[in-house]
Structure 1
Amino acid sequence: MKKLGFGGMRLPRLVENDPKSIDQAQVNEMADHFINQGFTYFDTAYPYHQGLSEGAFKKAVVDRYPREAFLLADKMPTFSVFKTEDYERFFNEQLERCGVEYFDYYLLHNLGEKNYASSVKLGGFEFMKKLKEEGKAKHIGFSFHDKAELLDEILTKHPEMEFVQLQLNYIDWESESIQSRKCYEVARKHNKPVIVMEPIKGGGLANPPEKAQELFKAYNKEMSYASWAIRYVASLEGVMMVLSGMNSFNQLKDNTAYMSDFKPLNEEEKEIILKVVDIINESIAIPCTNCQYCVDDCPKKINIPAYFSVYNSYHLYGDRNFPAMHYDRQSHGRGKASECIECKACERHCPQHILITEKLKLVAGAFEK
Structure 2
Amino acid sequence: MSEKRDQQARRREQLEQPVQIRYVSPADAPVLDAIVDGSAVKATMSETDAQRREKVESLLGLLDAVGPDESGDEQEAGVRRAIAAVQAARQRERFATQVQMLTEPEPTLGVGWRQVAMAAAAFVVAVSLLFPVLEHNRSEARRIACASNLQQAGMAFGQYAAANNGMMPRGHVQPGSTWWNVGQQPDHEHGASPSNTAHLFILIRQRYVEPETLACPENSAAFVQQLTQNQIDWPSPDAVSYSYQNQYTSDPLRLSRSGHAAVLADKNPLFVMGASGMSFDEKTPRTAASRIHDGRGQSLLTADGGVRWTVSPMLRIPGRGDSTNFWVADGVKTFTGRELPSSPDDSFLVP
TM bucket, shorter chain: under 0.3
TM-score, normalised via structure 1 length? 0.23
Higher helix share: 1
TM-score (norm 2): 0.24
Q: Which has the higher contact order (CA 8 A, sep 6+)?
A: 1
Query: Which has the larger Rg?
Result: 2
